[in-house]
Amino acid sequence: MKVLVIEDERKVVDYLRSGLSEQGWIVDVAMDGEEGAWMATEYDFDVIVLDVMLPKLDGFGVLRAVRARKDTPVIMLTARDRVDDRVHGLRDGADDYLTKPFSFLELVERLRALTRRARAQESTLITVGDLQVDLISRRAMRDGVRLDLTAKEFQLLSVLARRRGEILSKTLITELVWDVNFESNANVVETAIKRLRAKLDGPYAAKLLHTIRGMGYVLEVREDGGPA
Amino acid sequence: MMMKRSISLRLSAMFAAVSLVVFTLTGSGLFILMRRQLFDELRETLDTRARIAALIVGHAPTVQKWSFVQEKLRDLSPADSRMHYFVESPDPRFSFGEPIVGTVRGSVGSNHLLMREPGRNYDVILTNYVVPAAGERPQVRLVVGTDCERTEQMLRRFGVALAALIFLSTVAVALLSRAVTRFGLAPLTRLSREAAQLSPSNRRQRLRADELPEELHELATSFNGALERLDRAYERLESFNADVAHELRTPVSILIGQTQVALTRDRSMLQLRQTLQSNLEEFERLRVIVNDMLFLSRSDRGERASDLTEVSLRDEVSRMLEFLDMPLEEAQLRVTLDGDATACVNTSLFGRAMSNLLVNAIQHSPPGTSLQVTITPQRGQVEIAVSNPGEPIDPVAREQIFDRFYRLQEARSNSHENHGLGLSIVKAVAEMHGGTVFVRSAHGVNTFGFSVAADGDAARGPSAPDAPRGSRNAMPLRASP
CATH number, domain with residue A144: 1.10.10.10
Q: Indicate whether A133 and A85 sit together in one domain.
A: no
Domain boundary among A73, A97, A115: A115
Q: Which residues contact B231 (CB under 8 A, 6 or more apart)?
A: B203, B204
Among the partner-chain residues A102, A178, A187, the one whose CB lies closest to the CB of B481 is A102
The total of structural domains in chain A comes to 2
Among the partner-chain residues A87, A171, A213, the one whose CB lies closest to the CB of B463 is A87
Residue A37 lies in a domain: yes
Tell whether B283 lies on the interface with A, counting CB pairs under 8 A: yes
Residue A228 lies in a domain: no
Q: Indicate whether A92 and A143 sit together in one domain.
A: no
Confidence of residue B468 (pLDDT cuts 50, 70, 90): very low
DSSP class of residue A151? H
Q: Indicate whether A166 and A141 sit together in one domain.
A: yes
Please identify among residues 54-83 of chain B the ones whose CB lies closer than 8 Å to any CB of chain A: none
**Given this model, what pLDDT does residue B26 score?**
93
Q: Indicate whether A13 and A95 sit together in one domain.
A: yes
Residue A227 lies in a domain: no
Which residue, among A213, A217, A218, A224, would best test binding to B if mutated, counting the most B CBs under 10 Å from its CB? A213
pLDDT digits (tens, 9 = 90+) for A106-125: 888 888 888 865 444 467 78
What range does the domain containing A41 cover? 2-115
Confidence of residue B479 (pLDDT cuts 50, 70, 90): very low
DSSP class of residue A71? -
Of A31 and B5, which is predicted with more confidence?
A: A31
Which of B51, B39, B42 is closest to B142 using CA atoms? B51
Domain boundary among A115, A148, A171: A115
Q: Indicate whether A110 and A37 sit together in one domain.
A: yes
Q: Indicate whether A107 and A149 sit together in one domain.
A: no
Q: Kindly report the CA angle at B290 between B428 and A110, in degrees rounded to 5?
A: 95
Confidence of residue B416 (pLDDT cuts 50, 70, 90): very low
Tell whether B473 lies on the interface with A, counting CB pairs under 8 A: yes
Question: What does the pLDDT average to over B223-246?
Answer: 79
One-letter-per-residue 3-state SS of chain B = CCCCCCHHHHHHHHHHHHHHHHHHHHHHHHHHHHHHHHHHHHHHHHHHHHHHHHHHHHCCCCHHHHHHHHHHHHHHCCCCCCEEEEEECCCHHHCECCCCCCEEEEEECCCEEEEECCCCCCCEEEEEEEECCECCECCEEEEEEEECHHHHHHHHHHHHHHHHHHHHHHHHHHHHHHHHHHHHCHHHHHHHHHHHCCCCCCCCCCCCHHHCCHHHHHHHHHHHHHHHHHHHHHHHHHHHHHHHHHHHHHHHHHHHHHHHHHHHCCCCHHHHHHHHHHHHHHHHHHHHHHHHHHHHHHHHCCCCCCCCEEEEHHHHHHHHHHHCHHHHHHCCCEEEEECCCEEEECHHHHHHHHHHHHHHHHHHCCCCCEEEEEEEEECCEEEEEEEEECCCCCHHHHHHCCCCCCCCHHHHCCCCCCCCCHHHHHHHHHHHCCCCEEEEEECCEEEEEEEEECCCCCCCCCCCCCCCCCHHHCCCCCCCC
- B288 and A183 in contact by Cβ < 8 A? yes
Domain boundary among A85, A115, A145: A115
Residue A199 lies in a domain: yes
Tell whether B465 lies on the interface with A, counting CB pairs under 8 A: yes
Q: Indicate whether A43 and A145 sit together in one domain.
A: no
Among the partner-chain residues A81, A186, A188, the one whose CB lies closest to the CB of B298 is A81
- B469 and A195 in contact by Cβ < 8 A? no
ipTM value for the complex: 0.71
Residue A41 lies in a domain: yes
C-alpha B327/C-alpha A128 separation (Å) is 28
- A182 and B476 in contact by Cβ < 8 A? no
Using a CB-CB cut-off of 8 Å, the residues of chain B touching A182 are 348-349, 351-352, 355, 478-480
- B326 and A195 in contact by Cβ < 8 A? yes
**Core vs surface per residue B392-426: b (16+ CB within 10 A) or e:** ebeeeebeebbbbbbbbeebeeeeeebbbbbbbbb
- Closest CA–CA distance from residue A171 to any residue of chain B (Å): 8
C-alpha A77/C-alpha B322 separation (Å) is 33
Q: Indicate whether A144 and A188 sit together in one domain.
A: yes
| Domains, in order of start, for chain B | 7-171 (3.30.450), 209-298 (1.10.287.130), 304-462 (3.30.565.10)
pLDDT digits (tens, 9 = 90+) for A45-58: 889 998 888 888 88
Q: Indicate whether A111 and A8 sit together in one domain.
A: yes
Residue A224 lies in a domain: no
Quick one: CA torsion of B6, B11, B14, B15, rounded to 10 degrees? -150
Share of chain B above pLDDT 90, in %: 8
Tell whether A188 lies on the interface with B, counting CB pairs under 8 A: yes
Q: What is the mean pLDDT of chain A?
A: 83
Using a CB-CB cut-off of 8 Å, the residues of chain A touching B476 are 83, 86, 90
Q: Kindly report the CA angle at A117 between A113 and A121, in degrees rounded to 5?
A: 120
For residue A224, pLDDT beyond 80: no
For residue B372, pLDDT beyond 80: yes
Q: Indicate whether A150 and A171 sit together in one domain.
A: yes
| Predicted TM-score (pTM) of this structure | 0.60
Using a CB-CB cut-off of 8 Å, the residues of chain A touching B479 are 182-183
The CATH code of the domain that includes A67 is: 3.40.50.2300
- Closest CA–CA distance from residue A80 to any residue of chain B (Å): 8
Please identify among residues 20-39 of chain A the ones whose CB lies closer than 8 Å to any CB of chain B: none
**Given this model, what pLDDT does residue A91 score?**
60
Q: Indicate whether A100 and A8 sit together in one domain.
A: yes
Tell whether A14 lies on the interface with B, counting CB pairs under 8 A: no
C-alpha B108/C-alpha B111 separation (Å) is 7
Question: What does the pLDDT average to over B264-293?
Answer: 87
Tell whether A215 lies on the interface with B, counting CB pairs under 8 A: yes
* CB-based contact B300:B233 (threshold 8 Å): no
Tell whether B474 lies on the interface with A, counting CB pairs under 8 A: no
Distances from the Cα of A53 to the Cα of A7, A153, B169, angstroms: 8, 42, 69
pLDDT digits (tens, 9 = 90+) for B80-111: 667 888 888 888 888 888 887 888 888 777 77
Tell whether A182 lies on the interface with B, counting CB pairs under 8 A: yes
- A113 and B281 in contact by Cβ < 8 A? no
Tell whether A136 lies on the interface with B, counting CB pairs under 8 A: no
Could you tell me how far CA B170 lies from the centroid of its own chain? 32
On the 0-12 / 13-18 / 19+ scale of CB atoms within 10 A, A193 is: buried
pLDDT digits (tens, 9 = 90+) for B35-70: 899 888 888 888 888 888 888 888 888 888 888 888
Tell whether B315 lies on the interface with A, counting CB pairs under 8 A: no
Please identify among residues 345-364 of chain B the ones whose CB lies closer than 8 Å to any CB of chain A: 348-349, 351-352, 355-356, 358-359, 362
Q: Indicate whether A10 and A110 sit together in one domain.
A: yes
Residue A225 lies in a domain: no
Residue A108 lies in a domain: yes
Among the partner-chain residues A98, A188, A214, the one whose CB lies closest to the CB of B481 is A98
- Closest CA–CA distance from residue A174 to any residue of chain B (Å): 9
What DSSP element (H or E) covers A176? helix A170-178
Using a CB-CB cut-off of 8 Å, the residues of chain A touching B349 are 182
For residue A83, pLDDT beyond 80: no
- A182 and B478 in contact by Cβ < 8 A? yes
Tell whether A151 lies on the interface with B, counting CB pairs under 8 A: no
Beta strands A74-78; A125-128: pairing state:
unpaired
Confidence of residue B477 (pLDDT cuts 50, 70, 90): very low
Q: Counting one residue from A and one from B, how many pairs have CB atoms under 8 Å apart?
A: 121
For residue B464, pLDDT beyond 50: no
Nearest CA in chain A to B322: A178
